[in-house]
Homo-oligomer: A and B are copies of this chain.
Amino acid sequence: MPRKSSPVNIDPRVKRTRRLLRDALVSLILKKDFASITIKEVTERAEVAYITFYRHYETLDQLLMEVLDEGLVELMTHIETLAKQSDASALETEGRLIFEYILQKADLFRILLKSQSVTRVRRKVVRNIAIIFQKSCVPLERLGNQVTINIASNHIATSLLALIEWWLENNMNPSPTEMGKVYKSLIIDSTVGAVRSLSIVSM
């Protein structure tokens, strides 16, 4: 296994090989079920020797995580900056921007949602989104106790993912603008309202 992050300069051959493997996996996921993809297939498409795969990764899951990490970091920072602007007028715009972003990177999201078959991936994505909302969504952190906040942020994260999934399955209709309204009303406003009413009854 070649060193990866210890020295600052990575061997260009290593860089190249890993890129080829990632690209090969991505192109395969876009037209096959992830579960049916084999290491042999990936290395053949990458035009790399079979054993070379094992010199960089242990499993296909690991390679998949690396692929998703690239894309997820981008999505996360995107949502994070949006989630910080929590005044009511900006919320609808926030929703619209999320769905416009997805429209741009539809391929990546199809991969992400297809890969949810790998449970680990799903959990990781949900947790990351939940943490972002828990930290940066102002109305949440003021209301309710810890349990309520945990439930609520988990609810937002899973709902957002489910809404994105639904939208992709419906060929990205309706428009991002309308999905922005849905996002604001169905996910954010609803959850904030529910947390408020739950904290009144003092769970």
Contacts and interface: CB of A to CB of B under 8 A. Distances in A.
Interface of A: 114, 116-119, 147-148, 150-152, 154-155, 158-159, 162-163, 166, 174, 178, 181-182, 185-186, 189-191, 193-195, 197-198, 201, 203
Contact of A186 (B147, B174, B191): B191
Contacts of A116: 119
- Counting every copy of the chain, the complex holds 2
Contacts of A118: 117
A50 B191 CA distance: 51
Nearest to A186: B194
Contacts of A152: 186
B162 A155 contact: yes
Contact of A154 (B148, B151, B162, B190): B162
Contact of A198 (B155, B163, B186, B203): B186
Given A150-B166, A159-B162, 15 more contacts: A114-B119, A117-B117, A151-B166, A151-B182, A151-B186, A155-B159, A155-B186, A158-B159, A159-B159, A181-B198, A185-B197, A186-B191, A186-B198, A189-B194, A190-B194
Contact of A203 (B119, B163, B174, B193): B174
A174 B148 CA distance: 10
B147 A174 contact: yes
25 contacts: A116-B119, A117-B117, A117-B118, A148-B182, A150-B166, A151-B163, A151-B166, A151-B182, A154-B166, A155-B162, A155-B163, A155-B186, A158-B158, A159-B159, A174-B203, A182-B198, A182-B203, A185-B194, A185-B197, A185-B198, A186-B190, A186-B194, A186-B198, A189-B197, A190-B191
